[in-house]
Amino acid sequence: MVVEDNDLNRKLFCDVLRANGFEVEPVADGNMVLETARAVSPDLIIMDIQLGGVSGVDLIEAAKRDQALCEIPVLAVTAFAAKGDEERIRAAGAAGYLSKPVSISPFMNAVRGLLPEASGSPKT
């Protein structure tokens, strides 16, 4: 599942993932994240931290408190990387962290590193 309110970034992440054989559920509205995650049960959530109207950090914390979502790894992606941000985001429950702009190779390495070894097409 790709949570990104910027249309170009969301399309880029989804296109790259699909080109690498992943099923993708894009989410533009931060207020729909938890509901969508419960509905689709993704293998991974790629979470923008700077969402309009809601904090990605708050969403990560909420997902980790949710019985249905707490086991899903979260890859946090943010353009506003300041000192201490990575530690704060990981403390919220993110399993991985990337700062934008994201290059394709490190992005895919981070995605693959967080997914369980499974047959078929993983859902992100």
CA 33, CA 30: separation in Å to the nearest integer?
5
Domains of the chain by residue range: 2-113
CATH 3.40.50.150 fits 2-113, yes or no: no
Reported as a single tens digit per residue, the pLDDT across 24-62 is 999 999 999 999 999 999 999 999 999 988 999 999 999
State whether residue 14 is helix, strand or coil: helix
CA 105, CA 47: separation in Å to the nearest integer?
18
pLDDT at 19: 97
Instruction: Report the candidate in 75, 12, 14, 71 with the shortest Cα–Cα distance to residue 45.
Output: 75
Question: pTM value?
Answer: 0.92
| CA-only gyration radius of the chain, Å | 13
120 band by pLDDT with thresholds 50, 70 and 90: low
